[in-house]
Structure 1
Amino acid sequence: MLVLLPPSETKADGGRGGALDLGALSFPELNSTRAKLADALVELAADVPASIAALGLTERQAGEVTRNAQLWASPTMPALRRYTGVLYDALDVKSFTRAGLEKAHRRLAVTSSLFGVVSATDPIPAYRLSGGNSLPSLGTVRGLWKPVLEPVLQAVEGLVVDLRSGTYSAFAKLRPDAVTVRVVTENARGERVTVSHFNKAYKGRLAHVLAATRAEPSTVDQLVKVITKAGLVVERAGEHALELVTEG
């Protein structure tokens, strides 16, 4: 089973790992594109106003440009610790045991504007690049990744659970049998509506469940059983679609 997560705009500072080494990352087929993007970000960082414009930043976020300038030299940390925010708080990687981290490495992957996709424990530096950005020397991030990333993700064997946001879903179509998950609640009329406020938190909780389970689900029915056993409410919404129902 592979669970695909979205990244976050915010990143933790620092790290205890060495400098970025593309050879240490999963999915080595992506390294050529990763190198192009990293070099382009470093080059762009030499022009702070151009970086702010291209990356959609404010003047107060100029420190993000400094991060990009130091991309090849700054320390690294595992991807699940690098990404921060609501989803990753709910994922709660700090609570994982060593065995849990090993399972997370096998089961969790994060879509990334810079790296395409990385496994949970891949060592990465802090950076700033969003899925909707366009770099002067390379064009749109989405356009760069789609022809490269799509065949890699479609070649993944076993059950794939797609928790990506819309921006990152556009990076690559998955196989038709990939399982999509929509976070919903019931409104006053009893209608199922997509949740926005708690969406990331519930996806983080779900990712924690799927990373930590001792089961090895290989079908949608088995996946539903694992999620239900963990106390989350999930319902089938199609052959390969699930709805995660919030408490409102």
Structure 2
Amino acid sequence: MLVLLPPSEGKASSGRGAPLKLETLSLPGLTEARAAILEELVELCAGDEEKAREVLGLSEGLRGEIAKNTELRTAGARPAGQIYTGVLYDALDLASLDAAAKKRAARSLLVFSGLWGAVRVTDRIPSYRCSMGVKLPGLGALGAHWRAPMASVLTEAAGDGLVLDLRSSAYAAAWKPKGEVAGRTATVRVLHAPTRKVVSHFNKATKGRMVRSLLSAGIAPTDPAELVEALRGLGYEVEAEAPAKAGAAWTLDVLVDEVH
């Protein structure tokens, strides 16, 4: 099972660990694309601060993030699972998983990123600010920049098992499962049970808890149909239908009573 996660906008501090080593990150087929973005991002943020703020889409209050980006090559690096914070990662709570579940997380979880493309939660990265929606002056839109290298790398990473895609739309644009891989891919919507409306804040928390439940139980479904049964067995209310045509992803609706 491969679980695709969005990053968090907010991130923990880099800490005092050894600095980034691009060549040690998982999915080495993405190294060249990572290096190109890293070089332009550092140069951008070391230059005209106002231009960098505009390109990165940062508010005045987040101006300090620009200085952080200038130090990406020298700042301490920590496991990505410790860098990413926010509602989904709070609910997932990797640090409190038992040893076996942590090993499953290391194998199964991939966090998508505008800067790194995708990393495993054990990959050591510095804290940074660069969303997938950024359009760099030289490289252009990051979503488009990532499509070519990810096409082969992510298809290989998906192997022959289930792909549970929990990414937001901006990050989903960087790699879209196709053909046979798409047929064993499941996306998830979190709906308010009484109204069938998509929820916002509780959406991320539910997805984090759902992944935690699967990891803790040691359940690794091999296809979307098995995932539906596994989630129901774990106490989730799930509605799903097989897609009408082969090679199309499944959409699972997880129903919740809370919406905040």
TM-score class, shorter: over 0.9
Aligned equivalent of 1:170, options 169, 173, 191: 173
2:23 is paired with a residue whose SS is: helix
Question: CA separation in 1, counterparts of 2:241 and 2:257?
Answer: 18
* Counterpart residue number, 1:82: 83
Q: Aligned residues: percent identity?
A: 43
Confirm whether residue 201 of structure 1 aligns to residue 208 of structure 2. Answer: no
Read off the aligned partner of 1:96 and give its amino acid letter. Answer: L
| Cα distance, 1:55 vs structure 2 | 0.4
Question: CA separation in 2, counterparts of 1:3 and 1:223?
Answer: 12
Confirm whether residue 136 of structure 1 aligns to residue 137 of structure 2. Answer: yes
* Counterpart residue number, 1:186: 193
User: Which segment drifts farther, 191-200 or 110-119?
Assistant: 191-200
Question: CA separation in 2, counterparts of 1:211 and 1:114?
Answer: 27
Does the 8 Å CA contact 2:101/2:218 hold for their aligned counterparts? no
Aligned CA RMSD, in angstroms, stands at: 1.5
1:221 is paired with a residue whose SS is: helix
Question: CA separation in 2, counterparts of 1:141 and 1:154?
Answer: 19
* Counterpart residue number, 2:164: 161
Aligned equivalent of 1:235, options 204, 221, 239: 239
Confirm whether residue 25 of structure 1 aligns to residue 31 of structure 2. Answer: no
Structural mapping, 1:87-98, within 5 Å: 87-98=88-99
Confirm whether residue 245 of structure 1 aligns to residue 255 of structure 2. Answer: yes
User: Which segment drifts farther, 213-222 or 162-171?
Assistant: 213-222
Structural mapping, 1:112-123, within 5 Å: 112-123=113-124
CA deviations on 1:79-112 (whole Å, 9 max, x unpaired) are 1111111111111112112222111010111011
Read off the aligned partner of 1:164 and give its amino acid letter. Answer: R
Does the 8 Å CA contact 1:17/1:123 hold for their aligned counterparts? no
* Counterpart residue number, 2:101: 100
Read off the aligned partner of 2:163 and give its amino acid letter. Answer: V
Q: Cα 1:238–1:185, aligned 2, differ >3 Å: closer, same or farther?
A: farther
| Cα distance, 1:121 vs structure 2 | 1.0
Q: Structure 1: any 5+ residue segments left out of the alignment?
A: none
1:167 is paired with a residue whose SS is: helix
Read off the aligned partner of 1:102 and give its amino acid letter. Answer: K
Structural mapping, 1:32-71, within 5 Å: 32-47=32-47, 48-71=49-72
| Cα distance, 1:14 vs structure 2 | 2.6
- Which TM-score applies when normalising by structure 2? 0.89
| Cα distance, 1:16 vs structure 2 | 4.7
| Cα distance, 1:49 vs structure 2 | 1.2
Question: CA separation in 2, counterparts of 1:16 and 1:99?
Answer: 27
Question: CA separation in 2, counterparts of 1:15 and 1:36?
Answer: 24
1:75 is paired with a residue whose SS is: coil
* Counterpart residue number, 2:247: none
Question: CA separation in 2, counterparts of 1:217 and 1:16?
Answer: 38
Question: CA separation in 1, counterparts of 2:58 and 2:220?
Answer: 42
* Counterpart residue number, 1:210: 214
Question: CA separation in 2, counterparts of 1:238 and 1:225?
Answer: 13
2:201 is paired with a residue whose SS is: coil
CA deviations on 1:113-146 (whole Å, 9 max, x unpaired) are 1111111111111000011111112111111111
Q: Cα 1:44–1:236, aligned 2, differ >3 Å: closer, same or farther?
A: same
Does the 8 Å CA contact 2:135/2:141 hold for their aligned counterparts? yes
* Counterpart residue number, 1:150: 151
* Counterpart residue number, 1:219: 223
Read off the aligned partner of 1:161 and give its amino acid letter. Answer: L
Aligned pairs, how many?
245
Runs of 4+ in 1 over 4 A off after TM superposition: none
| Cα distance, 1:167 vs structure 2 | 0.8
Question: CA separation in 2, counterparts of 1:212 and 1:109?
Answer: 17
